[in-house]
């Protein structure tokens, strides 16, 4: 008897690729859960045309949204993707074959290739492309890293399995989207920084000054070296320059925002929106 798998996708105004994503998820999983955060476009209409279960939750941060989605799933093995990540046919076939053989690892990794402004790239700060990450996992043995609210990581005990195929991440399709997500992601990153300091009992105004100083030079320069030089952003031409600006602004803004939170109210919980 084949093992059962749940799949989930997080959505918010996610009509662009959702039909394709849901068609792939319904091929590889025994149930598909869509967690929506208040879409106003055709997201829910598209979902209604597929055999998926829709649940609603206001967005707070990515980690808690993923935990909510996993709790809504019926089966312990869960595959997940975002609303701009398209699994290919080889990945679907790999998971279907694995279900028949039986699932044993705590998690299974897959390659993810990034596209920005409709162009394949080598790096989207802070992630190299392609990156390899667990996407099919056993929720009984894995958990989400608690210190991050964005660019969160799934913690899975070794050894991990490997899936064939790929996910294509079609992110940042316009410059306006880059600017919008830059603000949202750095809000979450700053809250994650502050919350980690609070958990360690180190949330002070002195730390605020440290983050301000970091934002003024070391952090954006470090992002330039790490993203553009070391990880090969220079190979992406004009799009690489756009992403270089994004990387430096991301690194700078997260520290500026964390510094502001620490200076105004260092003991206010960073688990809630500022």
Indicate the length of the chain as a whole number.
274
Query: For residue 211, is it left (φ>0), alpha (ψ between -120 and 50) or beta?
Result: alpha
119 and 43 inside one domain: yes
- Quickly state the pLDDT bin for 2 (edges 50, 70, 90): confident
Residue 156 belongs to domain with CATH number? 3.90.550.10
What long-range pairs does 229-233 form, CB within 8 A, spacing at least 24?
Answer: 231/122, 231/123, 231/128, 232/122, 232/123, 232/128, 233/121, 233/122, 233/123, 233/125
Q: What mean pLDDT comes out for the span 14-43?
A: 97
- Which of 30-34, 203-207, 268-272 has the highest average model confidence (pLDDT)? 30-34
What is 122-156 written as a DSSP string?
SEETTEESSEEEEEEEETTT-EE-TT-SSS--EE-
Q: How far apart are CA 188 and CA 195, in angstroms?
A: 10
The residue among 154, 171, 188 that closes a domain is: 171
Question: Is 213 within the bounds of a domain?
Answer: yes
Q: Half-sphere exposure of residue 83, counting CA atoms within 13 Å on the CB side?
A: 21
The residue among 142, 171, 200 that closes a domain is: 171
Q: Is the pLDDT of residue 273 over 50?
A: no
146 and 199 inside one domain: no
Question: Is 108 within the bounds of a domain?
Answer: yes
Neighbours of 200 (CB within 10 A): 8
What is the domain range of residue 239?
175-264
158 and 90 inside one domain: yes
Instruction: Determine which helix (DSSP H) or strand (DSSP E) holds 250, and give its type and residue range.
Output: helix 237-264
- The tens digit of pLDDT for each residue in 70-86 reads 999 999 999 999 999 99
Strands 77-82 and 85-87, by their bridges, are unpaired
Q: What mean pLDDT comes out for the span 261-265?
A: 88
Q: What's the confidence (pLDDT) of residue 44?
A: 97
The residue among 128, 156, 171 that closes a domain is: 171
Name the nearest CA neighbour of 231 among 126, 150, 114, 151. Answer: 126
């Amino acid at each position: 008897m084949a093992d059962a798998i749940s799949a989930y996708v997080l959505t918010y105004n996610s009509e662009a690729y959702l039909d394709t994503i849901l068609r792939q998820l319904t091929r590889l999983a025994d149930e598909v859960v869509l967690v929506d955060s208040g879409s106003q476009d055709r997201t829910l209409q598209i979902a209604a045309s597929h055999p998926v279960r829709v649940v609603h939750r206001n967005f707070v941060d990515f980690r808690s949204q993923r935990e909510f989605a996993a709790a809504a799933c019926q089966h312990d093995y869960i595959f997940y993707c975002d609303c701009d990540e398209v699994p290919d046919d080889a990945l679907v076939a790999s998971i279907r074959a694995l279900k028949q053989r039986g699932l044993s690892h705590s998690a299974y990794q897959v390659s993810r290739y990034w596209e920005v402004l409709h162009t394949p790239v080598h790096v989207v700060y802070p992630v190299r492309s392609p990156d390899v990450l667990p996407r099919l996992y056993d929720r009984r043995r894995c958990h989400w890293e608690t210190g991050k609210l964005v660019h969160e990581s799934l913690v899975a005990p070794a050894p991990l399995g490997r899936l064939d195929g790929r996910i294509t991440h079609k992110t940042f399709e316009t410059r306006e989207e880059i600017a919008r997500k830059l603000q949202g992601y750095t809000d979450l990153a700053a809250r994650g920084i502050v919350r980690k300091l609070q958990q360690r009992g180190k949330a002070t105004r002195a730390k605020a000054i440290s983050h301000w100083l970091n934002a003024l030079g070391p952090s954006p320069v470090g992002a330039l070296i790490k993203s553009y030089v070391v990880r090969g952003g220079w190979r992406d031409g004009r799009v690489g320059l756009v992403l270089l600006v994004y990387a430096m602004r991301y690194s700078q803004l997260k520290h500026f925002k964390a510094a502001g939170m620490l200076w105004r109210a260092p003991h206010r919980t960073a688990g809630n929106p500022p």
